[in-house]
Amino acid sequence: MKRFLIAHGDKFTRRTLETAISDLGYRAESVQDGLDVVDRTLDERPDAVLLGLNIPGAGGLQIARTLRTLQTTKEIPILFITDNTAESTRVLQAALAGVACLQAPLEIGRVREQLMRLIARGQTDSPGAPQPTSLETLAITDPPTGLFSRTYILHRLAYEGARATRYQHELAVILIALDNLDAIVKRHGQRGADAICMDVASLIRRSIRMVDLVGRTETAQFLIILPETGGSGGAAAAQRLCNVLEAALFYVGQKPEPVRVRAGVAHLSQTDGADYLALFAYAENALQRAQDSATLRIIEG
């Protein structure tokens, strides 16, 4: 069954959209907060997202730009429901791919027609659309790596922890640090170090599962969230990532530059669900002990 995700500040508009979607035999789900729209779209891949411009937590254009930036959501059609011509103009001027606009007052017939167009567009859009960059996506993404930002990856950790508690799943996190980034800055400057961080981020993304999430929490630190993974699985993943990163050669210009890494691992079992908010602190503590150790590269918190 086709699924539509709705986020709009006006209750009447939401009800109108839900009625039109239900009449077509499809499923409608409403979300109140902007960050929740990103969460649900990443996790559930709805057939289309219907947005207003003014949504608590994050504005509609910020959400749309973020969904276009993220690899797994950039092809999902988006329909803005606007209140007036000025709002419609803002949407059109944003020039985002796969985004349409429908202005109030809403008529059920027009809404149904636009929904059918969204469905058709989602089935025919070709992959590889350009990914926009915007200052409005910086609350979600980290420049220059393109990973999730500290704010959003910690938001996702709370979200994943709550879900793991609800469904009695395990959850592991890995906090990886580049030990020699300061030395790289001294040799190549900040631009050279940024280039290394971008390549490290890309390699981490390619080395984890599709369901895993990665964000940059500090200049030289990366947090990886591993859903449905226990302590042994987290430790094994950390070992594999450290091996991959230290075996790789990163380049600044023509000069190869290896990296040294340390990692802290923490996990949430099925019986200690109340502790999920402390997972990041446990991983930080484990990473610090690894960095203080003369021999250990990975420590479990």
pLDDT one-digit tens code per residue, 98-114: 898 999 888 877 888 88
216 and 285 together in one domain:
yes
* Residue 137 resides in a domain: no
* Residue 131's pLDDT band (cuts 50, 70, 90): very low
75 and 197 together in one domain:
no
169 and 127 together in one domain:
no
177-210 confidence digits (pLDDT tens): 998 888 888 888 888 888 889 999 999 999 999 8
54 and 176 together in one domain:
no
The answer to whether 119 and 2 have CB atoms below 8 angstroms apart is yes
Q: Any idea of the CA torsion for 92, 98, 99, 100, to the nearest 10 degrees?
A: 90
pLDDT of residue 81: 92
CATH of the domain at 202: 3.30.70.270
The answer to whether 26 and 1 have CB atoms below 8 angstroms apart is yes
* Residue 138 resides in a domain: no
- Mean local confidence (pLDDT), 123-130: 47
183 and 110 together in one domain:
no
pLDDT of residue 132: 43
Task: Choose among 111, 55, 102: nearest CA to 81.
Answer: 102
- Is 135 a residue whose pLDDT tops 50? no
CATH of the domain at 22: 3.40.50.2300
pLDDT of residue 156: 86
272-288 confidence digits (pLDDT tens): 655 666 889 999 999 99
Residues 240 and 263: their CA atoms lie apart, in Å, by 11
* Residue 136 resides in a domain: no
pLDDT of residue 140: 77
- Mean local confidence (pLDDT), 214-233: 93
pLDDT of residue 292: 93
Instruction: Round the CA-based radius of gyration of the chain to a whole number and report it.
Output: 22
123 and 154 together in one domain:
no
* Residue 144 resides in a domain: no
- Is 138 a residue whose pLDDT tops 60? no
* Residue 123's pLDDT band (cuts 50, 70, 90): low
180 and 258 together in one domain:
yes
- Mean local confidence (pLDDT), 167-182: 90
Please state the separation of Cα 262 from the chain's center in Å.
24
Domain endpoint, select from 104, 131, 158: 131
pLDDT of residue 263: 96
127 and 197 together in one domain:
no
- Please tell me the total count of domains within the chain: 2
* Residue 235 resides in a domain: yes
154 and 119 together in one domain:
no
* Residue 248 resides in a domain: yes
40 and 86 together in one domain:
yes
80 and 156 together in one domain:
no
What the block records as the tokens of 151 is 């704010």
Task: Choose among 168, 152, 165: nearest CA to 36.
Answer: 152
* Residue 143 resides in a domain: no
Q: Which domain holds residue 293?
A: 150-300
Residues 155 and 73: their CA atoms lie apart, in Å, by 18
pLDDT of residue 275: 60
* Residue 141 resides in a domain: no
